[in-house]
Structure 1
Amino acid sequence: MASRVFRDRDVLSPDYIPDRLPHREEEIRSLGSVLAQALKGSRPSNVFIYGLTGTGKTAVTLYVLRRLVAKARSIGVNVLYAYVNTRQRDTAYKVLADIAASIGVRVPFTGLSTAEVYARLVRGLVRRRGVLIVVLDEVDWLVKRRGDDLLYKLTRIGYELPRGAMQVSLVGITNDVKFVDMLDARVRSSLGEEELVFRPYNAEQLEDILRERAEKAFHPGVLEPGVIEYCAALAARVHGDARRALDLLRVAGELAEREGASSVSVEHVKRAWDVIERDRVFEVIRSLPLQARIVLLSLVLLRWRGVKSTTTGELYNAYSLVAERIGIDPVTQRRVSDIINELDMLGVINARIVSRGRYGKTRIITLSADPDTVVEALSVDPLLGRVLRRLRGRG
């Protein structure tokens, strides 16, 4: 049965790359000029792209690469690209296997050493000609969990290949604007041959993006006045996140469709915001490593005792007790401090630095996500769920 609301809801999907990317013309030109070297059969410089979530980094990269590959094909030059989201493919084995697959080298899901997968990739590159551009999206997740050895190896792979082999260029994408400072100097210099910074969209730019997508996504007259402006205004508050704006519009449409409404209203957008925020927090927490979930659990338990805000030291003490209680070896305070940074970046907690005069500066940590959603997400883990059920309500 045809939808009364949507003409093509896929247009609002984060995976959809439109024929035009409003307000990213300069970024398209900049990245295109760097990667255009591949059309001459030369290795483009490695590129490091950073900016906050929803600023168009992945869309621009794939937009440029698809056109680059098409142009190369038309002039008889072999240019390929491999796109790997390292948050989803979070081991060296998986990353290397995906890159190998992009040039037609098959690697089993398991059963080989990482060194053997790398060797197969190198042999595949030696047998081929042209240029391979490897995109490592959310590369900070891979490095934070696995270290930067693989990243360094990939930035240097071209120098290990004989003359005439397929050349390799890297594009690293991160949402963490401070990530580059965490890299070893040798990796930073190799990966950051060229750098591109993506600025957040403002509300007016988000409106333009939404209007272009809405024209294809919805039947005429379905969106009530003010819907696009309201979606854009809400997303502009979240550092100009176009992905959030598109999600809002899509979910608002789905809510209207579900209740049999013939139009999408501002009220639908308000409800969509609540749904998206809950789902986002739930998914973020569910996918966290165990130690990060224990840190978050410790913050929840402190809150239940009436402690609404705490310091890194106090949270570490609470975390150590919880870890010991459930039989998990605690990590160092420095590692917990890193976890706090990650949770802050994800928007689950708020960690702000305050001055205490002659006592120096300290971080004040509070829970910023909805407490009930946090507890529900943590409870998915049977171990942490038992702790929460046992301690809930004790105060």
Structure 2
Amino acid sequence: MDLDEVLEDESETDQGLFDDLLSGKPIFENKEVLRPSYTPHELPHRTDQINKMATILVAALRGETPSNILIYGKTGTGKTASAKFVSQELEATSEKYDVPCRVEYINCEVTDTQYRVLAQLANTFIERNQAYVEDRLTDLEDLHERARVDSAILADSNYDSLGDLQAEIDRLEADRAEMEPVPMTGWPTDRVYSTFFEAVDYVERVAVIMLDEIDKLVEKSGDDVLYNLSRMNSELENSRVSIIGISNDLKFTDFLDPRVKSSLGEEEIVFPPYDANQLRDILTHRADVSFKDDALSEDVIPLCAAFAAQEHGDARRALDLLRTAGELAEREQAEQVTEEHVRKAQDKIELDRVVEVVRTLPTQSKLVLYAIVLHEKHGVRNINTGEVYNIYKRLCTEIDADVLTQRRVTDLISELDMLGIVNAVVVSKGRYGRTKEISLSVPVDETETVLQADSRIGDVGDVSPFLQARFDGDHN
């Protein structure tokens, strides 16, 4: 074997796991632009809402308290992106004019209790206060050193003597020592609130608190935290607090205390769904930044927009679809994203949604669904409620779960139908009465896999469906 052959062999063996994947032509320029977390510099078709927010929040730049704002709209209508965009502009302008204004964002789907919200806010402001104190101490200690050499320097300061200056340094050091962060559990809620109150009021500032998915917080923890936040301004001395609440649920204020409702909803902004043309503009705007030149075929963006328009004009869905289509094309090492990739992406996203819905079902609903899956696995179609109930009871026995009544199981089947997991149709069986015929609306194998990932259902042995005599309409 000559030297060239040896080198060729070595180069082939040097090919690592990722080399082939990296050898393809990249499709994305910046994929992050297509993610929900990205805040664009421009938001098409949301100028009116952004301008309204700005006219309300400009009060903060004058050192005044802005009105509280409630923002409504369905998922993917640009609520959070618009609010974050305005917040970034507000903070940038406040720095430009040296006005103390801060926006604090909290996702209430994650931070979903009064304790957690207050603790997160308290710790954020404690960190800001610590940074402020550190900066002040650095400046004052430097002044102290210079004043010891030449006390005349103090004439241009706020301190009449070295003693006054030292007293201020001592006060700040004492404050710093007392700035204790709030643990994520363990304190009484009133202590957490008072810690937050003291932290936010430590220096003069306007604090805008943005509560995204605010309805989730109210649903889980009630409106106590909103009541506390909305009444703070009457007690604060140095600072002012304004609240921006963002909700997918237009009716969530119906559950609020009237006092909270009136103070929280001082200003309301509604974000309507996007139509297909608007979605196309948004996708084109993002695609220009996120994809390489000529990476998309002409029909990709219109198709993504059309699919998302069917889902109540959800821009987030449209962006997910475009990103997923790009990822699928990249995995195939295709040179361009095509309509086929979009359709595959649509199927994948829908399957992912179903998997997540099934995974988070309560145990009883999972058992009912598993009973339906077992029937379908054994080739049974148009399953009726009685057949599902028989297998459901056996599954409950297997895992030692409570057996619900057939009426309750029928309700659970209706809930699965509403979620789009099963299709349940009431049909007449003539003299045998009416019954529900049930079939799966989702892939059997994937659904079974997700259900069996639940440790309790995974322990179930082989339960072959007990098939009753079937009464079809053509039998008399």
Q: TM-score, normalised by structure 1?
A: 0.80
Q: Which residue of 1 aligns with 2:217?
A: 142
Residues 209-237 of structure 1, C-alpha deviations (whole Å, 9 max, x = no match): 00011111111111012000000000000
Q: Which residue of 1 aligns with 2:59?
A: 37
TM alignment of 1:189-208, pairs within 5 A: 189-208=262-281
DSSP-derived class of the 2:274 partner: coil
TM alignment of 1:203-218, pairs within 5 A: 203-218=276-291
DSSP-derived class of the 2:279 partner: helix
CA separation of 1:188 and 1:375: change in aligned 2, threshold 3 A: farther
Q: Which residue of 2 aligns with 1:268?
A: 341
Quote how far apart the aligned CAs of 1:375 are.
4.6
Q: CA RMSD in A?
A: 3.6
Residues 41-88 of structure 1, C-alpha deviations (whole Å, 9 max, x = no match): 111111111111000000000000100111111112111111111111
Q: Which residue of 2 aligns with 1:227?
A: 300
Q: Which residue of 2 aligns with 1:152?
A: 227
Determine if the alignment matches structure 1 residue 77 to structure 2 residue 99: yes
Measured in 1, the distance between the counterparts of 2:251 and 2:464 equals: 37
CA separation of 1:371 and 1:309: change in aligned 2, threshold 3 A: farther
Residues 1-32 of structure 1, C-alpha deviations (whole Å, 9 max, x = no match): 58521111111111111111000001101111
Measured in 1, the distance between the counterparts of 2:422 and 2:231 equals: 37
TM alignment of 1:1-395, pairs within 5 A: 1=22, 4-105=26-127, 106-159=181-234, 161-162=235-236, 164-286=237-359, 288=360, 293-294=362-363, 296-297=365-366, 299-300=368-369, 303=372, 326=400, 373-386=446-459, 393-394=465-466
Measured in 1, the distance between the counterparts of 2:241 and 2:402 equals: 42
Measured in 1, the distance between the counterparts of 2:55 and 2:416 equals: 34
Aligned partners of 1:230 and 1:266 also within 8 Å: yes
Quote how far apart the aligned CAs of 1:143 are.
1.9
One-letter identity of the residue aligned with 2:71 = I
Measured in 2, the distance between the counterparts of 1:148 and 1:374 equals: 37
DSSP-derived class of the 1:136 partner: strand
Aligned partners of 2:416 and 2:422 also within 8 Å: no
Quote how far apart the aligned CAs of 1:241 are.
0.4
Aligned partners of 2:276 and 2:313 also within 8 Å: yes
One-letter identity of the residue aligned with 2:89 = R
CA separation of 1:257 and 1:299: change in aligned 2, threshold 3 A: same
Q: Which residue of 2 aligns with 1:357?
A: none
One-letter identity of the residue aligned with 1:147 = G
Measured in 2, the distance between the counterparts of 1:83 and 1:309 equals: 49
Q: Which stretch of the first structure deviates more once superposed, 137-146 or 301-310?
A: 301-310
Q: Which stretch of the first structure deviates more once superposed, 30-39 or 113-122?
A: 113-122
Quote how far apart the aligned CAs of 1:201 are.
0.3
Aligned partners of 1:82 and 1:134 also within 8 Å: yes
Quote how far apart the aligned CAs of 1:238 are.
0.4
Measured in 2, the distance between the counterparts of 1:19 and 1:5 equals: 23
Measured in 2, the distance between the counterparts of 1:188 and 1:143 equals: 12
Quote how far apart the aligned CAs of 1:110 are.
3.5
Quote how far apart the aligned CAs of 1:308 are.
7.2
Quote how far apart the aligned CAs of 1:181 are.
2.2
CA separation of 1:376 and 1:74: change in aligned 2, threshold 3 A: same
Aligned partners of 1:81 and 1:102 also within 8 Å: no
Measured in 2, the distance between the counterparts of 1:166 and 1:307 equals: 65
CA separation of 1:134 and 1:216: change in aligned 2, threshold 3 A: same
CA separation of 1:183 and 1:70: change in aligned 2, threshold 3 A: same
One-letter identity of the residue aligned with 1:297 = K
DSSP-derived class of the 1:103 partner: helix
Q: Which stretch of the first structure deviates more once superposed, 149-158 or 134-143?
A: 149-158
Quote how far apart the aligned CAs of 1:96 are.
1.6
Measured in 1, the distance between the counterparts of 2:402 and 2:103 equals: 42
CA separation of 1:167 and 1:391: change in aligned 2, threshold 3 A: farther
Measured in 1, the distance between the counterparts of 2:249 and 2:423 equals: 16
Measured in 2, the distance between the counterparts of 1:130 and 1:83 equals: 16
Aligned partners of 1:300 and 1:371 also within 8 Å: no
In structure 2, runs of 5+ residues without a counterpart are 1-21, 128-180, 376-380, 426-437, 468-476
DSSP-derived class of the 2:199 partner: helix
One-letter identity of the residue aligned with 2:311 = V
Aligned partners of 1:294 and 1:322 also within 8 Å: no
Measured in 2, the distance between the counterparts of 1:372 and 1:127 equals: 58
Measured in 2, the distance between the counterparts of 1:221 and 1:178 equals: 45
Residues 234-287 of structure 1, C-alpha deviations (whole Å, 9 max, x = no match): 00000000001001111111111111111100100111111112223333454x
CA separation of 1:67 and 1:308: change in aligned 2, threshold 3 A: farther
Measured in 1, the distance between the counterparts of 2:238 and 2:403 equals: 47
Measured in 2, the distance between the counterparts of 1:152 and 1:264 equals: 50
Measured in 2, the distance between the counterparts of 1:180 and 1:237 equals: 28
Measured in 2, the distance between the counterparts of 1:257 and 1:142 equals: 39
Quote how far apart the aligned CAs of 1:190 are.
2.3
Measured in 2, the distance between the counterparts of 1:72 and 1:32 equals: 13
Q: TM-score, normalised by structure 2?
A: 0.68
Measured in 1, the distance between the counterparts of 2:424 and 2:198 equals: 47
